[in-house]
């Protein structure tokens, strides 16, 4: 009996110890929870209080900047403090919007360039007027050469290709280089240079043949169908070649099927007879692109020459008027 009582006494002590331990742990966890809640509340109060102080300070500054009895521009009556604050806040927002727009424009601007830079096969293309122009190399000795090391937006075959950083090429002629890492036509500004679809078909549209029956004699035909000036009417640029006569040409036809002009041509007698290679103008000689960002798509013609680089003929067709050089006769013979 005595042993049983001792055993029960020991067991009761163990239970008391266990309860004590559990109670201690519970109190410790409760203490930690209270500390976290109190700390979070204090931090939240601090943040709210600080934000309120900042708001009150801005409010005081706005109020202090409002002249007494300032007239409301819209109603012609003394403006209330609330109205003036609203006006001031509107001015701040407008200023911030303007600054953001200016920042966006600055991003699109060329480094050290005030005007649009246009490259054709990596050389500078002057687009100041619609004419046949000579491509220009970059003087590698010039201090301004680095201004052409910028991001270009490349176009080819009537669509946007990619944007890449242009790089100076190795020397081509004495002190002259061009820009590498760009497409056929490269623009220094990011805008939609192909605002309207350009379709390529292998036939002559019926509206064109109805007014120009002789065009069916050509055996190689490509037609670009495009609304050049955005007036909802499509023009036609025809690339024609006749293997019998050795004549090829590019012509422009208006929406009514009437020929506007022969743009460029070459005949067999003007081929390079020394190489015995036939040369026909082809679709690769033509690009259609809004090259000066005015919403009108220019016709860009590559004009081959016997030696050196080709020249580029720029033409703009707008509201029935064609600006640029027409009737260009190509020659691959040194004269």
Same domain, 322 and 256: yes
Q: How far apart, in whole angstroms, are the C-alpha atoms of residue 329 and residue 133?
A: 15
334 in a domain, yes or no?
no
Same domain, 204 and 178: no
CA distances from residue 247 to 240, 252, 326 in whole angstroms, order as listed: 8, 17, 17
List, for residues 132-187, the tens digit of each pLDDT value.
999 999 999 998 899 999 999 999 999 999 999 999 999 999 999 999 999 999 99
335 in a domain, yes or no?
no
Same domain, 126 and 97: no
Positions in the chain whose pLDDT score sits under 70: 1-28, 30-31, 33-34, 37-114
Same domain, 206 and 322: yes
304 in a domain, yes or no?
yes
Same domain, 133 and 73: no
pLDDT of residue 115: 83
φ/ψ of 148, rounded to 5, equals -90, -5
Same domain, 319 and 239: yes
**Which residue's entry shows tokens 């609203």?**
86
Q: How far apart, in whole angstroms, are the C-alpha atoms of residue 56 and residue 267?
A: 82
296 in a domain, yes or no?
yes
pLDDT of residue 334: 85
Look at the chain and report how many structural domains it folds into.
Answer: 3
3-state secondary structure (DSSP) of residue 256: coil
Sign for the CA dihedral angle at 117, 120, 121, 123 comes to negative
Of 69, 84, 106, the position where a domain reaches its end is: 106
List, for residues 30-65, the tens digit of each pLDDT value.
667 667 766 666 666 665 666 556 556 655 555 455
pLDDT of residue 70: 43
Same domain, 171 and 215: no
- Spatial neighbors of 322 by CB under 8 A, at least 6 apart, are 252, 260, 261, 315, 316
pLDDT of residue 24: 61
Q: How far apart, in whole angstroms, are the C-alpha atoms of residue 92 and residue 99?
A: 10
pLDDT of residue 335: 72
111 in a domain, yes or no?
no
63 in a domain, yes or no?
yes
112 in a domain, yes or no?
no
Question: pTM of the prediction?
Answer: 0.67
Same domain, 94 and 164: no
252 in a domain, yes or no?
yes
pLDDT of residue 18: 53
Q: Which domain holds residue 60?
A: 2-106
């Amino acid at each position: 009996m005595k042993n049983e009582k001792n055993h029960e006494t020991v067991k009761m002590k163990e239970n008391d110890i266990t309860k004590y331990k559990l109670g201690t742990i519970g109190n410790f966890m409760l203490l930690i929870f209270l500390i976290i809640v109190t700390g979070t509340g204090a931090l939240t109060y601090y943040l709210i209080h600080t934000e309120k102080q900042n708001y009150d300070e801005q409010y005081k500054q706005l109020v202090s900047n409002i002249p007494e009895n300032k007239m409301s521009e819209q109603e012609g009556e003394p403006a209330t403090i609330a109205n003036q604050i609203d006006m001031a806040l509107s001015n701040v927002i407008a200023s911030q919007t303007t600054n953001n727009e200016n920042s966006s424009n600055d991003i699109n601007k060329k480094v050290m360039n005030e005007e649009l830079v246009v490259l054709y096969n990596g050389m500078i293309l002057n687009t100041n007027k619609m004419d046949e122009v000579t491509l220009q190399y970059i003087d590698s000795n010039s201090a301004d050469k680095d201004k052409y090391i910028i991001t270009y937006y490349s176009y080819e075959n009537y669509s946007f290709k990619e944007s890449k950083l242009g790089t100076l090429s190795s020397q081509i002629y004495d002190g002259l280089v061009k820009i590498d890492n760009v497409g056929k036509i490269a623009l220094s500004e990011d805008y939609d240079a192909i605002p309207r679809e350009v379709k390529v078909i292998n036939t002559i549209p019926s509206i064109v043949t109805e007014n120009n029956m002789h065009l069916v004699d050509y055996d190689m035909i490509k037609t670009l169908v495009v609304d050049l000036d955005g007036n909802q009417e499509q023009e036609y640029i025809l690339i024609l070649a006749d293997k019998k006569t050795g004549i090829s040409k590019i012509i422009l036809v208006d929406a009514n099927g009437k020929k506007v002009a022969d743009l460029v041509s070459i005949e067999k007698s003007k081929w390079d007879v020394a190489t015995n290679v036939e040369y026909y103008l082809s679709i690769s000689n033509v690009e259609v692109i809004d090259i000066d960002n005015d919403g009108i798509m220019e016709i860009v013609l590559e004009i081959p020459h016997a030696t050196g680089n080709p020249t580029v003929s720029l033409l703009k067709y707008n509201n029935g008027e064609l600006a640029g050089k027409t009737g260009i006769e190509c020659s691959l013979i040194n004269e």
